[in-house]
Amino acid sequence: MDKDEMNKKIEEYENGSLIKPLSSVKYLFKKPHTLQYPKETKPVPERYRGFHINDVDKCIGCGNCRDICPCAAIAMVDPNGVHPIEVKEGSNPVRPQIDYGRCSYCGLCVEVCPTGSLKLSKDLIYTSPDADSFVWIPLEEQGREPGFTQSDEITPLMLEKEEMQELEPDVRKKTFEELILGFNEEQAKKEAMRCLGCGVCMQGCPAHMKIPEYIQAIFDGDNTLSVKYMLEDNALPGICGRICTHACQDDCVYNYRGDAIQIMWLKRFATDQLKDYGKSELEKMPKSGKKVAVIGAGPSGLSAAYYLATMGHSVTIFEKRPTGGGALGLGIPLYRLPVYELDKEINHIKSMGVKIKFNTEVGKDVSFEDLMKKYDATYMGIGLSYGRSIRLKGEEHPDVIQGVDFLRSVKVEGNREIPKRVIVIGGGNVAMDVARTAIRLQQISHGGEDTMVQTVSLEDWDIMPASGEEVEGALEEGVIFNPGWGPKQVIFDENNKIKGLEIVKVKSVFDEKHRFHPTFFEDQVKVLEGDFIIESVGQMYNFSFIPKEMFEQLKFTPRRRVWVDEYGETSIPGLFAGGDLVETSKGNAISAIANGHRAAVGIDRYFQKKK
């Protein structure tokens, strides 16, 4: 409409009429456009935002809907009265309950639902004189038709992870340099920003670390605070930031719609930013005058020592080897955990006043009875430091060695000798460490020559115990896998040198009751060629330092682990145990750290009771 047209129209509007309004009389004869509800209804639009629908079996009770609700209309409650639920790992046993007196039907709860179980329906009609009846747990069986649902393209969740930089396979297999390069600040903040803060991950962590809090602190740029949160439950955060089995990430709610938050790398980032943890240190209690002996400077021993020290007790660690860290220091390859990182963490624990006596073996340099007498309590964290033999025919040959011995010789003694064709027996994470270490040694010693590392494991791909990342890394670096085969015997040539390993096809690994009981197709046999065999199928403990009469008092579980109560105390009063020795440990560092912490609390409680 231009100016002239407008002026013309204004003129029309200025000249009123008394006749024209009468033309509206025609509406008397027109059909009204109102509908006679409930006889006539209007179709409800597809995206309608009405009452909620929740698939409570799919829902994991993470509570993100409650946290985003602008009206505080959502409460997380036990749904078992209306719909019994199965409590899965990585879920909370609660489900959303909506107060429709508060709900504004904005649908933000639907947008942030990680599982997609929550929807809005096309139904918005409910009347009752009872105000309390407007509060209910939405269920699928209430029969409402879905309306507003979440979209894959437009979602406030940040589904994609920040990619971690690592050395290329060609470069990394020639070096023991750390292969994961770590986040820079921008990447760490971006990754931290993805976290919803629901804390479902804390269930998966054996130490129940305060993950949402430390991620928030990283996002806020306060790494000192972040590490403080970590130290509350984990005495070795920098190490766990590198080698943890990160069960937390398996429980991350993002797994349902995208990539899990890389919690472990974030932890590593925060600890890497601090030269030492001085400013993040926990408050130290006044001196109690109690003395505690800790046997073994592995993750559980260090963890127990650290927390005992914060409680004001004086702690001495006895370690038979010249370095600390136990399996972490001796077994984990350098490309996964560099020495300086281990030193940093051990120095931190020493800075709390913990004394560590290296090269002091209990049972040889000091007697176990003396420790029990001289100290108010003793903690045993000796781990499984001896390789377990599979009683393979021909394994007594010097070129058949144990995986833990091999890793130790490489890391501690600096051994760089390796034959050109290596066979690794085992399919767990330690076997992967062995294979990947062997491939690096070959590249260093025989670079450019024809070399080979292959593994053989009873378990097929689908039940391989090693983590997916480890298997993938090993494959990229050129390790050859033989999954689903069992070792039968070592084959020797006429000069009594190893020629290869005879292996036999596996029928099944477990019996019907899921117990370890391998069976084989005896007719399907083949020979893997190689001149060096490393066995890496598990480790065991050695209790020879405990006097016989005392050892008899020590109770064991049916699975031959040391029995401990809920505070980590063994059947011998004043003797506590943790780490791989006990059943609650899942054979990883974080479990050992967690039950070291638990024993520290137990020892403190033991002192209180004795008073």
Partner 1 sequence: MSKSYELFIGPNHPGIPGNFSLHLELEGDTIISAKGDPGYLHRAFEKGMENRLYIQNLALIPRICVPEPDINEAGYSMAIEDLMGVEIPERAKYIRTIVLELARTTAYLLWMGGYAASLGLYTLGQWATGDRDYAIDMFSELTGARVYHMYIWPGGVRRDLPEGWEEEVLGYVKYLRDKLVDYDNLFFKNAMFIHRAKGIAKITQEQALEWGATGPVLKATGIAQDVRKDDPYAAYPYLDFDVPTLTEGDSWARAIVRRFEIDNSLSLIEQAIKKIPKKGPVWTKMPNPFKWYVPAGETYAKVESARGEHGFYMVGDGTGKPYRVSVRGASTPHMFTIAEKLLVGARLADASHILLSLDICPPEIDR
In total, the chain counts a number of residues equal to 611
Burial class (CB in 10 A: 0-12, 13-18, 19+), 77: middle
Nearer to partner 1, 42 or 611 (CB): 42
Name which position in 101, 156, 289, 547 contacts partner 1 (CB under 8 A). 156
Name which position in 8, 58, 70, 553 contacts partner 1 (CB under 8 A). 70
d(C-alpha 567, C-alpha 594), whole Å:
11
d(C-alpha 429, C-alpha 408), whole Å:
15
Cβ 104 vs Cβ 51: under 8 Å? no
Nearer to partner 1, 147 or 596 (CB): 147
When asked if residue 216 is in the footprint of partner 1 (CB under 8 A), the reply is yes
Binding string, 19-38, against partner 1, x = CB under 8 A? Answer: -xx-xx--x-----xx----
- Core vs surface per residue 552-584: b (16+ CB within 10 A) or e: eebeeeeeebbebeeebbbebebbbbbbbbbee
- Closest distance of CB 72 from partner 1, Å: 10
When asked if residue 8 is in the footprint of partner 1 (CB under 8 A), the reply is no
Given the rule CB under 8 A, which of 172-180, 189-197, 241-249, 435-443 is the region that contacts partner 1?
189-197
Name which position in 8, 12, 508, 551 contacts partner 1 (CB under 8 A). 12
Name which position in 58, 87, 88, 104 contacts partner 1 (CB under 8 A). 104
Binding string, 218-257, against partner 1, x = CB under 8 A? Answer: -x--------------------------------------
Cβ 203 vs Cβ 62: under 8 Å? no
When asked if residue 282 is in the footprint of partner 1 (CB under 8 A), the reply is no
When asked if residue 185 is in the footprint of partner 1 (CB under 8 A), the reply is no
- Core vs surface per residue 451-487: b (16+ CB within 10 A) or e: bbbbbbbbbeeeebbbeeebbebbeebbbebbbbbbb
The count of residues interacting with partner 1 (CB under 8 A) is 56
As given in the structure block, the two tokens for residue 529 are 């060629």
Nearer to partner 1, 171 or 193 (CB): 193
When asked if residue 2 is in the footprint of partner 1 (CB under 8 A), the reply is yes
Strand order in the sheet with 74-77: 74-77, 95-99, 135-136
Cβ 219 vs Cβ 79: under 8 Å? no
- Closest distance of CB 43 from partner 1, Å: 10
Cβ 256 vs Cβ 116: under 8 Å? yes
When asked if residue 192 is in the footprint of partner 1 (CB under 8 A), the reply is yes
Name which position in 11, 18, 283, 396 contacts partner 1 (CB under 8 A). 18
**Other CB atoms within 10 Å distance of the CB of residue 45:** 10
Residue ranges that bind partner 1, judged by CB under 8 A:
1-3, 6, 9-10, 12-18, 20-21, 23-24, 27, 33-34, 42, 45-49, 64, 67-71, 104-108, 111-112, 120, 147-148, 151, 153-154, 156-158, 192-197, 216, 219
